[in-house]
A and B are shown apart, each in its own frame.
Chain A
């Protein structure tokens, strides 16, 4: 059965209408936004929710006895509950809000890892990781003499797990992406987690790309730490977070010190607050949390299964169109197995630099990303300094994929040597 025979599970025309920015034109052309892997656009519901919070009930949380402070606090707690529910966490207290997933991973590196890792311990990463899931561990490695090991990728752009037992031997942590922001590869987290736990290692999943695009169940994954970020899932920037099991969070030392994360402070010292406040120091992104809650409502109304099915179909359409039009003049850095890849497509023309391609695409209103995508080690493995990357989300359709292909045809002609 051809994928194009199946109707798109999403009514994309209706969804597009929910995103005010999609009505604008760029250089006289329709805005075709294909950079959601970088950051996603926001629906009216999210913008409106934040606007109303600011207009009607903004106040600092936890502290006031007055009505609007109670309302503001209630909204903030609701945001914790909503993300906990989305991820199937055991409790909303297992959700720690941060400003983004980079901070969430750093939180684990600076608290759990520094309390538990010694010189000679190992952390296993992969060649496809984003810098946010590499650099915190490199900082730790330099500081503590911890060894970093790397799961390589196969020529088919998947994780090569043949040496996994050897890599995990003596490892305390496996840190891995749920879905690659360059290759689109979806990693088999349950299997990786089983192997890591058997070797005595905990598992951290960088779910920045996974949570917005796939149904994620932290119980089914079996992982110990899962990071997420709001701005990639229709929410505002400035809010992200960490899910971790309560026992782990209770055992971890605090991260940032200050107000709210304490229970008591005297001249002699302090005691920490209960979860999750222990890890939420100072005034948090209150209104952004409301935005994230509205984003989750929007996604759950569509259904993450439907989002996944939509992107699976669109990825298939786009990959086919690219291969038909350009054959092997265009290298696509990712495999074609739609069950194990998301709608993130990185590619390069043989003789045209990614920056030049994106410039021509911009002329046509098509927004893609050109560069190393915060994955320079992966670029080195791929043997290229940069790629062009198109990524699809709920507000994209086949017409957007067509616009991408047409614009790439223009780019190829423009730079023909």
Chain B
């Protein structure tokens, strides 16, 4: 049976207690995107400054549960300074990691197609969020920031 240590790994609690890149950016030149989980009230406000095909700066605001806020913080660290194309690969990899539960449930996958998405992508700290898949109710908490990021990149380009 999955235990709570699977969900709340030390690195997640660290990001929750000391979230990175908190604040706002002047809009413009940055863009502001908001994501909201109506089920539980998690809120992510994302400020993205995209310049020359890369995320020059990123800031996070909002409030919510430890999983959603840790995921936002970890996301912000992972994307800051990176080219947009690399970030898009990262988003796909992260969502593949999170959706492994759903696609297994629907019999669509046994997880082996995950390998393609993860090929060459260094998840680093993000791997700590893998435990979330054992708690399906919390998956939306973890993916909120990433869906907001994806939406932001789509709109900014």
Contact = CB atoms under 8 A, between A and B. Distances in A.
Asked if A pairs with B, the answer is yes
Interface residue range, chain A: 10 to 19
A359 B1 CA distance: 14
Nearest to A352: B66
B40 A359 contact: no
Contacts, number: 45
B135 A359 contact: yes
Contacts of B138: 355, 359
A27 B3 contact: yes
A149 interface: no
B4 interface: yes
B3 A371 contact: no
Given A414-B8, A415-B66, A385 B3 contact: no
A409 B17 CA distance: 18
Contacts of A385: 40-43, 63-64
B71 to A, nearest CB: 13
A359 B138 CA distance: 10
A27 B64 CA distance: 26
A50 B40 CA distance: 35
A207 interface: no
B97 interface: no
A7 to B, nearest CB: 37
Contacts of A386: 40-41
A417 interface: yes
A355 B96 CA distance: 24
Nearest to B36: A385
A292 B17 CA distance: 48
Contacts of A414: 8
Given A353-B64, A360-B4, 16 more contacts: A354-B40, A355-B40, A355-B67, A356-B65, A356-B66, A359-B4, A359-B7, A359-B8, A371-B41, A379-B41, A385-B41, A385-B42, A385-B43, A385-B63, A415-B13, A415-B16
A353 B66 contact: yes
Given A355-B138, A363-B4, A417-B17, A371 B65 contact: no
A80 interface: no
Interface of B: 1, 3-4, 7-8, 13, 16-17, 39-43, 63-67, 135, 138, 141
A354 B66 CA distance: 10
A370 interface: yes
Given A371-B40, A386-B40, A414-B8, A353 B3 contact: no
A190 to B, nearest CB: 36
A158 interface: no
A372 interface: yes
Contacts of A360: 4
A363 B41 contact: no
Contact of A27 (B1, B13, B63): B1
A363 B3 contact: yes
Which residue of A355, A359, A370, A372 has the most chain B CB atoms within 10 A of its CB atom? A355
Contacts of A370: 40
A156 to B, nearest CB: 24
B4 A355 contact: no
Nearest to A28: B1
Contacts of A354: 40, 65
Nearest to A372: B41
Interface in A369-417: 370-372, 379, 384-386, 414-415, 417
Contact of A355 (B1, B3, B16, B141): B141
26 contacts: A27-B3, A353-B40, A353-B66, A354-B65, A355-B65, A355-B141, A356-B66, A356-B67, A359-B4, A359-B7, A359-B8, A363-B3, A363-B4, A371-B39, A371-B40, A372-B40, A379-B41, A385-B40, A385-B41, A385-B43, A385-B64, A386-B40, A386-B41, A414-B8, A415-B16, A415-B66
A107 B8 CA distance: 45
A26 to B, nearest CB: 9
A386 B37 CA distance: 11
Interface string A323-358: 000000000000000000000000000000111100
A110 B118 CA distance: 52
Nearest to A416: B17
**Which 6 interchain pairs have the tightest Cβ spacing?**
A385-B41, A353-B65, A355-B65, A363-B4, A386-B41, A356-B66
Contacts of A363: 3-4
Nearest to A379: B41
A385 B40 CA distance: 7
A384 B43 CA distance: 12
B12 to A, nearest CB: 11
A415 B17 CA distance: 8
A325 B23 CA distance: 35
Contacts of B43: 385
Contacts of B7: 359
Among A363, A384, A385, A417, the most chain B Cβ lie within 10 Å of the Cβ of A385
A417 B15 CA distance: 11
Nearest to A370: B40
A417 B13 CA distance: 9
